[in-house]
Amino acid sequence: MTTTDLSIQNLLALVDRDRLRDTLFDMVRIPSPTGDTRTFAEHVAHLLRESSLADVGLIDTPDWPDSPAVVAWRRGRGRGPTLQFSGHLDHIHQPHAAPTIAGDRIYGRGAADMKSGLACMVEVARVLDTAGIELPGDLLFTAHDLHEAPVGYGEGLRSLLCLGIVGDAVIVTEGPSDAFHIAGKSQSVFEITLTLPGDPIHELAVSPETPNLVELGAEVISALTQLRTRIAQRCDEVLGPETLFLGQIAAGDFYNRLPTVCRIVGTWRYPPETTRDAVAAELHEVVLSTVEDRPVCVSVDGSQGNEGFRVSLDEPIAQALHAAYHQVTGSPLANGVQLFAADNGKFINWAHVPAVAHGVGLSQAHADIEWCDAADLERLAKVLLATTVEYYS
């Protein structure tokens, strides 16, 4: 059978909610904290092999012996583009109660973030296999470790991309369940450090001209709040205003000792066209003009953060997802913006391929008690299947 003589509704009817529920429950019973996912990777590879995928294998991540990635192919007729499904194997290290099922709700660490998406990827492979569908291009299924900071910083995905393992378009099976993110802001985590030469000394030994870093830090904070007002005027028509957030300030270590270090940490979110270096330079300028000629060393580190992105609605994968969502739910898929870092942005920035994210929603990610309903799995699996058919039609 080919997609042209295929009834999408017949295909979607093959999605099995009970099987999805059991698949996810089996997945959450295998712990996979970031950096320790080999057993779970072997389980996922086994499931994909059972679904008749070809060339299923584990690929090691350099310097991370227990963090292999799973790579599996479903070969097509050979002419069409390769569509990739991507997920991450790891969950956060936060402890969680033992996995359980209550009704159609599966509880366990990683149930939502994001073994839900991996279970649906397996279901897509199963249904296509059962239906005997031959697609014009290859499907590529990948799952990697080292997604969750602060243990991982994308090393698993980056190493796959370095090996050239990437599709022509990518669906990350983690994300919103009811929105399409057409753009995401870049984010810099900035760290401003003011340092006074010399040792901390008693307040009575401090000369009058010596700056107090608690007071100078307050001046810098004041200057940053003025900067925040200025950058809020820079309003991207899709992403909205740039934002600056102050999250931490620390200075001094005793009530009557001279503070010698003041550290201010925060975030700046801005459109993807602005560079990280430009943001750091602007921060540096604001701090230097506040400190003026006082004898203080200033350092501004803005090297950490995430890159933003834009996805054209004309991209075939974007059009396919919109059409599929409408077919499955009867509702249009609303466009929105992504304010957090996710793997779709990494595919766009690191591999320069169009990537979209669609999942069971984000409300349960990293929660104390993490769960996913089988109905959400069924909907996601159907949307992924219909997206596949639409992409090749």
189 bridge partner residues: 267, 304
- Do residues 105 and 161 lie in contact, with contact meaning Cβ atoms separated by under 8 Å? no
x/- map, 211-250, Zn ion, by CB under 5 A: ----------------------------------------
Of the pair 245, 340, the CB lying nearest Zn ion is at: 340
Q: Does 389 participate in binding Zn ion (rule CB under 5 A)?
A: no
CB of 265 to Zn ion, least distance (A): 24
Helix axes 316-329, 374-392, angle to 10 degrees: 130
Q: 149 or 250, CB closer to Zn ion?
A: 149
Q: Which is nearer to Zn ion, 145 or 174 (CB)?
A: 174
Contact 100, 155 (CB under 8 A): no
Nearest to 140 by CA among 160, 158, 156: 160
- Least Å distance, CB 14 to Zn ion, is 27
Closest contact distance (angstroms) between CB of 154 and Zn ion is: 12
- CA–CA separation, 264 and 246 (whole Å): 8
Q: Does 343 bind Zn ion (CB under 5 A)?
A: no
Is there binding between residue 114 and Zn ion (CB under 5 A)?
Answer: yes
- Per-residue binder mask for Zn ion (CB under 5 A), 158-187, x = binder: ----------------x-------------
Question: How many residues belong to the site for Zn ion (CB under 5 A)?
Answer: 3
Using DSSP, state whether 310 is helix, strand or coil: strand
Do you find a cis peptide bond into 121, omega within 30 degrees of 0? Answer: no
Q: Residues 188, 279: contact at Cβ < 8 Å?
A: yes
Q: Kindly state whether residue 90 participates in binding Zn ion, applying the rule CB under 5 A.
A: no
Q: Is residue 113 near Zn ion by the rule CB under 5 A? A: yes
The residue range among 37-45, 112-120, 241-249, 368-376 that interacts with Zn ion, by the rule CB under 5 A, is 112-120
Q: Does 53 bind Zn ion (CB under 5 A)?
A: no
Q: Which two tokens stand for residue 168?
A: 């022509």
* 157 in contact with Zn ion (CB under 5 A): no
- Token reading at 204: 């009575």
Measured CA distances, 362 to 52, 196, 262 (Å): 31, 44, 36
3-class DSSP state of 200? coil
Least distance from C-beta 71 to Zn ion, angstroms? Answer: 19
Q: Does 146 bind Zn ion (CB under 5 A)?
A: no
Nearest distance in Å: CB 365, Zn ion? 6
The region of 114-122, 225-233, 275-283, 346-354 touching Zn ion under the rule CB under 5 A is 114-122
Distance from the Cα of residue 200 to its chain's centroid: 42
Closest-approach residue to Zn ion (CB): 113
Residue 345: CB minimum distance to Zn ion, A = 13
> What are the angstrom distances between the C-alpha of 222 and each of 170, 264, 267, 290, 319?
44, 12, 16, 9, 46
- Least distance from C-beta 291 to Zn ion, angstroms? 40
Amino acid of residue 315: E
Contact by Cβ (8 Å): 347, 308: no
- Minimum distance from residue 88 beta carbon to Zn ion (Å): 6
Q: Should residue 286 be labelled a site residue for Zn ion when binding is judged by CB under 5 A?
A: no
Cβ distance to Zn ion smaller for residue 268 or 371:
371
Strand ranges in 77-233 using DSSP code E only, listed in sequence order? 83-88, 100-102, 105-107, 139-144, 169-172, 179-184, 186-195
Binding site residues, Zn ion, CB under 5 A: 113-114, 174
